[in-house]
Amino acid sequence: MIAQILLHTPTWVYGLFVVLIVFGLQQTRSRNVNAFLAYLLPVGMIVLSLAGINSSFGIKPVPIAL
């Protein structure tokens, strides 16, 4: 059964698996990151979250608090 699954799996899945393994191994090393870049992603996610709240409910205190 497992052999059939592996034989019918598209080849790009194996390539994606290898890329994810390489990215995971890179995360084991210590590195220094610029403070600006470290705060860029959380700030961007907050902006996108507020944009989603605004498009669904409008900027009101209750949706923002929840």
Where along the chain do its domains lie? Answer: 2-65
Q: Is 18 left (phi over 0), alpha (psi -120 to 50) or beta?
A: alpha
Give, in order, the Cα–Cα distances in Å from 59 to each of 42, 43, 44, 47, 52: 20, 18, 18, 13, 10
pLDDT level of residue 10 (50, 70, 90 thresholds): very high
d(Cα 55, Cα 63) in Å, to the nearest integer? 11
Taking only the tens place, the pLDDT of each residue in 21-61 is: 999 999 999 989 899 999 999 999 999 999 999 999 988 88
pTM over 0.75: no
Selection from 45, 63, 46, 65 nearest residue 54 by Cα: 63
